[in-house]
């Protein structure tokens, strides 16, 4: 079934059925998004542990550079 056919069929459904489909799709997108974020975090963790250029300035993160001394 093509995307156009699916969308056409959805448009013929009741409001409650369409709302249920939207809720299902949103949950599916959220799961996929969370999985992608987790993968990206795991990938970057290796970078942060091995690439000192990425963490060179973390030692001054807590300095209050915006306050007058």
pLDDT score, position 61 = 65
By residue count, the chain amounts to 69
pLDDT-derived band at 54, boundaries 50, 70, 90 = confident
pLDDT tens digits, one per residue of 10-19 = 999 999 999 9
pLDDT score, position 13 = 98
pLDDT tens digits, one per residue of 24-44 = 999 999 999 999 999 999 988
pLDDT score, position 51 = 85
> Given the structure tokens 């599916």, which residue do they identify?
28
Alpha-carbon span 14 to 6, nearest angstrom: 14
Tokens of 58: 């973390």
């Amino acid at each position: 079934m093509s995307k156009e056919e699916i969308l056409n069929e959805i448009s013929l459904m009741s409001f409650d059925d369409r709302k249920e489909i939207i809720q299902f799709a949103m949950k599916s997108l959220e799961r996929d998004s969370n999985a992608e974020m987790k993968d990206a975090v795991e990938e970057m963790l290796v970078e942060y542990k091995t690439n000192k250029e990425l963490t060179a300035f973390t030692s001054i993160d807590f300095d209050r550079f915006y306050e007058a001394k």
